[in-house]
Each structure stands twice: as structure tokens, then as C-alpha cells.
Structure 1
Amino acid sequence: MVFYEMLVIVRANLMEANLKDLVRTSAKLVLERGGVVRNFENWGVLRLPTRTRRHQEYFDDGQ
């Protein structure tokens, strides 16, 4: 069996309810496709290595 690790970076100011919904949806998709979710880790808000632009906004921090 092959193991994969998925890292997701979201906006630093994302509301907790939206973050939980994102994690729930991602896990559901993995499970529906025969995968297994073993763990979740929240690393908190961290500085991104490079400034990122998305939807005409610039981001320096991610969660």
C-alpha cells in the first residue's frame, strides 16, 4: 500500500467554522475514493516562504 501526505495551506484569517468545513470536505473526498485519513495537524499561522498572489490579493501568512 502506498502512503501519501497532503499539506493544505489556507488564509491565515480564515474563520474556524470555514476551516473545519474545508477539512471535513477534504477528508470525505479521500474516504469516498477508498483512502484512509489517519491524522490531522494544525500548524497554526506561519509566514509563507514567498509572497503569494491569489484572486488579486497578496498573502504573506498562511495557516
Structure 2
Amino acid sequence: MTKKRKRRKPEQIVKALQEGEAMMAAGKTEAEVFQALEISVATWGRWKKQYGGMKSDGTCLPS
């Protein structure tokens, strides 16, 4: 039996990235963060590459 995938909107992805970064800054391990967000290492990397420079309202952060 396979686990059903969750589809997330870009705003939700950006928010999850921000939450994950905050958890890591608070001392959580990557494994704990990924488990809490229910994502894989590959998903985290893809999201960081694609959405890492965005704010939660969908606009780009200044460089």
C-alpha cells in the first residue's frame, strides 16, 4: 500500500521552507524537520532550489 501524495501550493511550500529553516535554527536535525513537514530530502532540495528566494506571498526576495 502506497502513501498518498500531498499536493502543496507554492505559498504553502514557501511557508514550509520558512518553518523548516526556523526549526533547524532552533536545533532540530534535518531528519526531524523532514519528518515534521512530511517530506523527503529530495523534496526539500527541490523546493529550496525552486522556491528558496521567495516570500510567502509569492514575491521574490531582493538579492
Give the TM-score normalised by structure 1: 0.36
**Structure number with higher helix proportion:** 2
Give the TM-score normalised by structure 2: 0.36
Q: Which has the larger radius of gyration?
A: 1
